[in-house]
Amino acid sequence: MNDFWNDVEPLVYKSRIKVPYSWQAGETASFFLTQLRDKKIIWGKACPECRKVLVPPRKSCPFCFVDTEKWIQLSSRGIIETFTIVKRDTPVQPLKAPFAYAVIRLDGADTGFVHLLGGVDLEKIQEGMAVEAVFSEDRKGSLLDIAYFKPTGGA
């Protein structure tokens, strides 16, 4: 194989596929996200069968395969179920490393809410820590209208 390269130059073709999308968020996600943007309220949606309050809210329950019904206003407070401290950068991470992701159980919800942690000493993060949402000043109807969750007791 090495002899081959004596006669042939190895070419590498660099390219990228940039394909724009315009996804409709749908009525369920649109309500959730506009409420984050306009009211700084986090809403969940309850399944009439299993009674789970799903957040982020879904139009149907993935466990029961029925339409969800009631909108439930949730607290912007919760507790950390698990977390990780990211030590390397990628082109799509919203923050520079080191920073933390967490799965947060919001008060009133039955599913975990995945988001960022902030305003906290990374070495001090623990499961069970009480946190609350800090909303961005500049909100656009996106999950990141919540900038991050910070400990309620103070870092």
Partner 1 sequence: MERVAIVGVGQTKHSAGRREVNYPELVYEAVSLALADAGLNIDDIDNVITTSNDFWDGRTIASMATGDVSGGVGKNISCVEGDGTFGAFYGLTRILSGSYGTTLVTAYSKGSESISPLITNAAFDPIYMRCLGLDMVTAGALQARRYMKRYGISEEECALVSVKNHGHALDNPHAHLAMKITVDDVMNSREVAAPMKLYDISPVSDGACCIILANEERSKKAANKPVWVKGVSFCADAYLLGDRDLSESRALEKAAQGAYKMAGIQNPREEIDVAEIYDAFTYQELLWTEGLGLCDRGQGGKLVAGGATAREGDIPVNPSGGLLGAHPVIAAGLIRMAEAVLQIRGQAGERQISRKVRQALAHGVNGICGQSHCVWVLGSE
Q: Which residues bind to partner 1, rule: CB under 8 A? A: 1, 4-5, 10, 15, 17, 21, 23, 25-26, 29, 33, 54-56, 62-63, 81-88, 90-95, 101-103, 111-116, 127, 142-144
What is the nearest approach in angstroms of partner 1 to the Cβ of residue 95?
Answer: 8
What is the nearest approach in angstroms of partner 1 to the Cβ of residue 12?
Answer: 8
For the chain, the three-class secondary structure string (H helix, E strand, C coil) is CCCHHHHCCCCCCCCCCCCCCCCCCHHHHHHHHHHHHHHCCEEEEECCCCCCEECCCCCECCCCCCECCCEEEECCEEEEEEEEEECCCCCCCCCCCCEEEEEEEECCCCCCEEEEECCCCHHHCCCCCEEEEEECCCCCCCHHHEEEEEECCCC
What is the nearest approach in angstroms of partner 1 to the Cβ of residue 64?
Answer: 11
What is the nearest approach in angstroms of partner 1 to the Cβ of residue 149?
Answer: 12
Name the residue nearer to partner 1 (CB basis): 73 or 93.
Answer: 93
